[in-house]
């Protein structure tokens, strides 16, 4: 199987391309590789589908963001096959009619724009039926915010939501019609869902194809509306959705679950469920990318003579050895004790930043003892120690 090409490479645009630039690039590729211009050319057909797949992802802000962050894994169409939530691009199941329909939308529905070589944008390839132009309602997207603690971020977690949303009407099975004979073919568009209008311009007659005003593009009208849903085919209900959140996600990340949003009218396409990650702060550990940081406040005696201290980790505690003469600003690293990378590129570390606690008040005996110590050369910092501490201080501003 040929390796998938980067979507930006397929459309020959930069990663900073605007939506208009992406649209124009797809239009160019679609014209170049259209089956009507390349009859029997399997390579051109493959390029045509590849361009359509790239455009479906890059023209959608949500899918584009997932692709930019996670690559093909972020827009995989099958649950368990790479994407964090099994959502995103569904190009593997797109038919040529789906692609033709999307291609027609790019050109605004104009007919005969290429001298008849394409058979008109309403009927690419000459063999498509008018019924493929019928409109399907799409339900709106839903958005939920998921609060995760540091342990859940580190290990990954499964969350369940009871969503209040529009679901297909059980009485009419989503059709919106009362009984099996509740619909009939639209008399205006004769079931095609579209009508053609001729308009005189200085360049001659221009034909445009638009949604039928009587049926709204569905190709049928409802004679007897369902008593339960009033003819919409959807009712307000609820659904329990299970979301598997991978380890390594972070604040502000968003993912989508295809088809888990509001149901579309008249057995249309369901919207998506957008999951936004809200990471709760930890009382002791601070996240820094895939690393976590702990500020260890040592007593002066421990810093001077050394010892063992216990520090918190994401999932418990660990003992750390303090060497004699440990200076403030020293960073101890516990490898592999951080956050796993969401793309699987290793695990971060736990960084222990050493601070020294200076007592705020002293007894007379303690003060006298420290005054005696101050007279010792051991309590006067050397130039090398000064330089090390200064370098750490200066690094804060780099």
Residue 295 included in any domain: yes
Q: What 3 state SS string does 195-223 have?
A: EEEEEEECCEEEEEEEECCCCCCCCEEEC
Instruction: Answer with the one of 128, 156, 183 that is the final residue of a domain.
Output: 128
Give residue 235's pLDDT: 95
For the beta carbon of residue 1, count every other beta carbon within 10 angstroms.
3
299-346 pLDDT, tens digit per residue, is 999 999 999 999 999 999 999 999 999 999 899 999 999 999 988 889
Is residue 179 domain-resident?
no
Task: Confirm whether 139 is domain-assigned.
Answer: no
**175 in Cβ contact with 233 (< 8 Å):** yes
Does the residue 370 lie in any domain?
Answer: yes
Phi/psi of residue 218, each to 5°? -85, -20
Q: What is the pLDDT of residue 354?
A: 94
Q: State the CATH number of the domain containing residue 23.
A: 1.10.287.110
Gap between the Cα atoms of 364 and 392, Å rounded: 35
In a domain, 278, yes or no: no
Q: Hey, what are 115's tokens?
A: 């001298």
CA 347, CA 121: separation in Å to the nearest integer? 51
Domain contains 212: no
Q: Is the pLDDT of residue 128 over 50?
A: no
Helix (H) / strand (E) element for 26: namely helix 19-33
Helix, coil or strand: residue 293: strand
Domain hosting residue 16, numbered range: 1-128
- Residues pairing with 221 in the sheet: 184
Q: Please, which residues have CB within 8 angstroms of residue 40's CB and are 6 or more apart in sequence? A: none
pLDDT of residue 99: 58
At 193-219, the pLDDT tens digits run 888 888 776 666 777 788 888 888 888
Average pLDDT over residues 85-111: 47
When pLDDT is cut at 50, 70 and 90, the band that residue 88 belongs to is very low
Which CATH number fits the domain that encloses residue 307?
A: 2.60.260.20
Q: Which residues contact 85 (CB under 8 A, 6 or more apart)?
A: 79, 243, 244, 245, 255, 256, 257, 275
Contact 341, 287 (CB under 8 A): no
* pLDDT tens-digit readout, 169-197: 999 999 898 877 678 888 988 888 888 88
Q: Is residue 259 part of a domain?
A: no
Record the pTM: 0.59
Asked if residue 115 is part of any domain, the answer here is yes
Q: Is the pLDDT reported for residue 96 higher than 70?
A: no
Q: How many domains does the chain have?
A: 2
Q: Which of 128, 153, 179 is the last residue of a domain?
A: 128
Last residue of a domain, one of 128, 163, 195: 128
Q: pLDDT tens digits, residue range 71-80?
A: 887 776 433 3
CA dihedral 310, 312, 318, 324 (to 10 degrees): -40
| CB contact at 8 A, 294 and 312 | yes
């Amino acid at each position: 199987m040929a390796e998938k090409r980067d979507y930006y490479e397929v459309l020959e645009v930069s990663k900073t391309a605007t939506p208009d630039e992406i649209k124009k690039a797809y239009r160019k590729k679609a014209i170049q590789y259209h089956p009507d211009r390349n009859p029997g050319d399997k390579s051109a057909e493959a390029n045509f589908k590849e361009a359509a797949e790239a455009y479906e992802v890059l023209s959608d802000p949500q899918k584009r963001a997932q692709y930019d962050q996670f690559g093909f894994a972020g827009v995989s169409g099958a649950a368990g096959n790479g994407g964090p939530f099994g959502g995103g691009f569904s190009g593997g199941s797109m038919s040529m009619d789906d692609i033709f329909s999307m291609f027609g939308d790019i050109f605004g529905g104009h007919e005969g724009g290429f001298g008849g070589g394409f058979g008109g944008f309403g009927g690419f390839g000459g063999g498509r039926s008018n019924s493929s132009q019928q409109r399907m309602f799409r339900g709106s997207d839903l958005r939920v915010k998921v609060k995760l603690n540091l342990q859940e971020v580190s290990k990954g977690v499964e969350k369940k939501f009871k969503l209040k949303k529009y679901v297909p009407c059980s009485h009419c099975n989503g059709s919106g019609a009362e009984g099996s004979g509740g619909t009939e073919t639209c008399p205006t568009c004769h079931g095609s869902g579209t009508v053609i209008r001729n308009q005189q311009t200085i360049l001659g007659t221009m034909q445009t194809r638009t949604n039928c005003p009587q049926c709204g593009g569905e190709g049928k009208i409802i004679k007897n509306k369902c008593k339960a849903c009033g003819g919409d085919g959807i009712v307000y209900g609820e659904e329990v959705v299970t979301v598997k959140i991978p380890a390594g996600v972070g604040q502000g990340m968003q993912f989508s679950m295809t088809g888990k949003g509001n149901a579309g009218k008249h057995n249309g396409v369901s919207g998506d469920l957008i999951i936004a990650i809200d990471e709760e702060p930890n009382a002791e550990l601070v996240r820094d990318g895939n690393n976590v940081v702990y500020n260890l406040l040592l007593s002066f005696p421990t810093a001077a003579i050394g010892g063992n201290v216990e520090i918190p980790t994401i999932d418990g505690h660990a003992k750390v050895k303090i060497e004699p003469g440990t200076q403030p600003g020293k960073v101890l690293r516990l490898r592999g004790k951080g956050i796993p990378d969401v793309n699987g590129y290793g695990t971060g570390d736990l960084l222990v930043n050493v601070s020294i606690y200076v007592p705020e008040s002293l007894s007379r005996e303690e003060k006298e003892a420290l005054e005696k110590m101050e007279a010792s050369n051991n309590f006067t910092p050397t130039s090398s120690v000064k330089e090390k501490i200064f370098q750490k201080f200066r690094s804060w501003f780099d």
